[in-house]
Copies of this chain bind each other. A is one copy, B any other.
């Protein structure tokens, strides 16, 4: 029976080697981490999308910022939690390693998103996260959080709104996974990405993917080859323009039609692609 356990799950990465996977060993309080820069209370509240009141604006308190080179882990599933984090810049992959060693990508987080809140309950992170690009995260000491919230109502409100917002997005995973066809899943994922970018004031048409095909595959419950193929389908149908990780939504309506559909279109003649193979 042990052989069964050892058998490799297909289509998933055993470990993302990256280049600089430092694998910080649960000790975020190491001196080097107390970082190069800090952020004021007012800026933090603004980052969270709240309105800094007079009290918080005048407050001299500031928070350290954790700088994350690409590939750096921020939290470790099961690791003791000393901080919660607010992403200030960049993007991270949010995942869980399942028992067989493969990673189960819950989602991706960007600026404004809060990481590690689940540690409020057990004191441990429930998810792992690694930076997909050079990123920054504001560190909020878990031990002082309760008092901070009491002392600074504006922070309290902003945090709550943010958590509620993230809870509302919890259905996104179900949304993509509910789709039966791979093309539909990918179309929905791209639309979600587009929405997230728009929420953050970036272009919702032109998106630079920070994650690999394999990450996307693990997120959507598909094989990475299938992601490649589905990108090809969406591109040939005229919905997207795809060149490596640089994608552009050419025809949003057609993309939405794909996302709505439950089965692939087949001969629906969505678009007449003139040249059958224009990818060359």
Contacts from A to B (Cβ < 8 Å): 1, 4-5, 7, 9-10, 96, 98-100, 102, 104-106, 117-122, 126-127, 146, 157, 160-165, 167-168, 170-171, 173-175, 177-178, 180, 218, 221, 257, 260-263, 265, 268, 270
Partner of A120, one of B102, B163, B170, B265: B163
Partner of A164, one of B1, B121, B165: B121
Docked complex Cα distance between A98 and B178 (Å): 9
A262 touches B9 (CB 8 A): yes
B175 touches A118 (CB 8 A): no
Nearest first, the 8 A-B pairs at minimum CB distance are: A120-B164, A121-B164, A118-B168, A118-B167, A126-B168, A9-B262, A121-B165, A177-B177
A262 touches B96 (CB 8 A): no
20 contacts between A and B (CB under 8 A): A1-B270, A4-B265, A4-B268, A9-B262, A10-B180, A96-B174, A102-B178, A102-B262, A104-B174, A104-B175, A104-B178, A106-B171, A118-B167, A120-B161, A121-B164, A126-B167, A126-B170, A167-B167, A173-B173, A178-B218
Q: How far is the CB of A120 from chain B (nearest CB, A)?
A: 3
Q: How far is the CB of A227 from chain B (nearest CB, A)?
A: 15
Interface centre among A105, A168, A180 (most CB of B within 10 A): A168
Knowing A1-B257, A174-B96 are in contact, say whether A164-B119 is a contact too (CB < 8 A).
yes
